Amino acid sequence: MTDRLDLLPRHRNRIEEILAKCAPGVEVWAYGSRVNGRSHPGSDLDLVLRGPGLERLPLETLGALSEAFHDSTIPFFVEARDWARLPETFHAEIQRDYVVLVGA
């Protein structure tokens, strides 16, 4: 369910296009202010990428995503983090409130 995700359809579509191109086959969760109802139009979008088997994603993938988001027309910062590179304590924080943006 993504009803709680505070994104305009055109921005969501562009984000999904970038994810499909740069990180195909990766499950992506949104979390943070755009999920918990505390966002404003300039709020960043926090994403966590969950690779196959929850293994670490190649740094090249993360770099390509960062560059693609930076070069896009999306008018806010999009930060994509690798689940496997985050501490367990942060996993628990994300798991409290997230929306699946792209399924596995």
Given 3, 6, 44, 82, the catalytic residue: 44
Residue 7 in this model has a pLDDT that exceeds 70: yes
Q: What is the DSSP string of 31-53?
A: ESHHHHT---TT--EEEEEE-GG
SS3 84: helix
Q: Which residue has the tokens 């296009």?
A: 17
CA dihedral 32, 22, 16, 75 (to 10 degrees): 60
pLDDT at 1: 41
In this prediction the pTM is 0.94
Longest dimension (CA), the chain: 34
> If pLDDT is split at 50, 70 and 90, which confidence band does 27 have?
very high
Domain carrying residue 87: 9-102
Residue type at 9 in one-letter notation: P
The residue from 3, 6, 46, 97 that is catalytic is: 46
* Residue 28, pLDDT score: 98
Mark whether 46 is an active-site residue: yes
Cα separation, 94 vs 30, in Å, equals 9
Is residue 3 domain-resident? no
Q: What is the mean pLDDT of residues 34-43?
A: 93
- 82 belongs to the catalytic site: no
Q: What is the CATH number of the domain that holds 64?
A: 3.30.460.10
Express each pLDDT in 64-73 by its tens digit: 999 999 999 9
Q: What total number of domains does the chain contain?
A: 1
Q: Is 99:36 a contact under the CB 8 Å cutoff?
A: no
Query: Would residue 1 count as lying in a domain?
Result: no
**Summary mean pLDDT of the chain:** 95
State the Cα–Cα distance between residues 33 and 31, nearest whole angstrom. Answer: 7
> Does 104 score more than 90 pLDDT?
no
